[in-house]
Amino acid sequence: MRLRSLAVFALSAAAPLSAQFAPPRRPAAPPAGFSAERLARIDRALQERVDDGSIAGAVGLVMRDGKVVYERAVGWSDKEAGRRMTTDAIFRIASQTKAITSTAIMILVEEGRLGLGDPVSRYIPAFARTTVAITADSIVPARRAITIFDLLTHTAGISYGTDAKVSAKYQAVGLGPAAGYGWYTADKDEPVCVTMERLATLPFVAQPGSAFVYGYNTDILGCVVEKVSGMALDEFVRTRITDPLGMKDTHYFLPLPKRERLAAVYMSDATGKAVRAPDGARGQGHYVDGPRRNFAGGAGMLSTARDYGRFLQMYINGGTLDGARVLGPKTIDVMRTNQLGRLYGDAGMGFGLGFSVAERPGADGFASVGTYGWGGAYATVYKIDPVERLVIVFMIQMLPNASDIRERFPTLVYQALVGGRP
């Protein structure tokens, strides 16, 4: 009996990693419109990337009309610690935070406490006189005030400060190159409004309203939320968004009892293999052990696939979920409509109030016209498809990421959709 046990152990130890992971959890029969055989292609694609070493692990979630179509965890949450990935793993969602902060702003707009055309200087006086860098040595005044609309649409001319013509100035005050990849503030022992007031003294890279420039815009909006509401950003988000929506694992800084559920960050090496990222702003971050004071509206939150899926389902439902109303449907219609014409680009994609928007078939892969969403620096991505009533969430922790799975996952979801709309 002992020899037989040793033999079984030896065989299991020699089995490939893919055979050691639990099978995917999904409904016994696929929901209407989805092919079980085609959904299985997603399993194979995810596991192949784990087995070839290009990713450490990932979680995929798909919902249609609020029902789970697909949910799978593959690989490792922390390979070095021997922790397998689970569907309740907590991820750094980086710029997926922007949708939550944009929602907070629109709550205040709906309450009449804020206007889209308001100058941001009404709430943060340091932005009353901003400047624009033409070159590193040529700084001119902004031609007009920056508005809340500019910040929501990333047309304020504000970058992450890594541009050559401004990077030295940003570096000198702890922003731009001094802030991880530019957007990172979780290590700062100061409130976010102090950081944003310092940002206001720096030159920006384009005139307000003249170009789509991705940067600290939503971090500024986080400060606006604090100024208008009289509450810290994390408190406002918790009381008005995450608690009402039942998002129990969505935080700015991780409660200590949940630290074992935080997925480790990996990075692609020169050969495309996933290796553990270093500690610090360019790697594991300060989301557990750190000052826990700077609530970054642009990139500071943590969440699970299920939690973020609930947030997106609220949008599909026109602003409500399980009896909790966060926004009105007319507000969401404006947010998911291109507000920039061709300023965002002329390849069939537009940008609304916090989201990119697909305006023609093929502009965003197989997604329907009107699909909106975004992603995060750690290679996370999400889509809201109002035509097919789909929510797609893909969570991974790779920075930088050389694998192709972030782009492939949504395509694999759509190829499994073979039936009519619900």
Residue 13 has pLDDT above 50, yes or no: no
Averaged pLDDT of the chain: 93
Report whether pLDDT(280) > 90: yes
pLDDT tens digits, residue range 282-298?
999 999 999 999 999 99
What is the per-residue pLDDT for 345? 85
Q: What is the Cα 84 distance to its own chain's centre?
A: 23
Model pLDDT for residues 224-261, shown as the tens digit of each residue: 999 999 999 999 999 999 999 999 999 999 999 999 99
Tell me: the pLDDT tens digits for 131-174? 999 999 999 999 999 999 999 999 999 999 999 999 999 999 99
- pLDDT tens for 162-211 read 999 999 999 999 999 999 999 999 999 999 999 999 999 999 999 999 99
Residue 29 has pLDDT above 90, yes or no: no
DSSP class of residue 116?
A: T
Integer CA distances (angstroms), 13 to 19, 57, 319, 388, in order: 10, 20, 49, 43
Q: Are 285 and 296 in contact (CB under 8 A)?
A: no
Residue 273 Cα distances to 55, 56, 270, 355, angstroms? 7, 9, 7, 31
In tens, the pLDDT along 73-121 reads 999 999 999 999 999 999 999 999 999 999 999 999 999 999 999 999 9
In order of 7, 8, 15, 116, 198, the CA distances from 4 in angstroms are: 5, 6, 17, 72, 68
Other beta carbons within 10 angstroms of residue 1's beta carbon come to 5
Residue-wise pLDDT tens digits, 308-358: 999 999 999 999 999 999 999 999 999 999 999 999 987 899 999 999 999
Domains along the chain with CATH numbers: 25-94+246-415 (3.40.710.10), 99-238 (3.40.710.10)
Give me the pLDDT at residue 325, please: 98
Cis omega before residue 400 (within 30°)?
A: yes
Which residues lie closer than 8 Å to 169 by C-beta, 6 or more apart?
161, 176, 202, 203
Ramachandran class of 354: left when φ > 0, alpha when ψ lies in -120 to 50, beta otherwise: left
Contact 58, 74 (CB under 8 A): yes
Residue 419's pLDDT band, with cuts at 50, 70 and 90, is confident
Q: Sort strands 203-204 and 131-135 into parallel, antiparallel or unpaired.
A: parallel
pLDDT of residue 21: 39
Please give the angle made by the CA atoms of 73, 239 and 319, to the nearest 5 degrees. Answer: 70
**Interaxial angle between packed helices 36-51 and 405-415, expressed in degrees from 0 to 180 and rounded to the nearest 10:** 170
Q: Comparing C-alpha atoms, which of 189, 194, 185 is closest to residue 291?
A: 189
The answer for residues whose C-beta is within 8 angstroms of residue 17's C-beta and 6 or more apart is 50, 51
The total of other beta-carbon atoms located within 10 Å of residue 403's CB is: 21
End-to-end Cα distance, the chain:
55
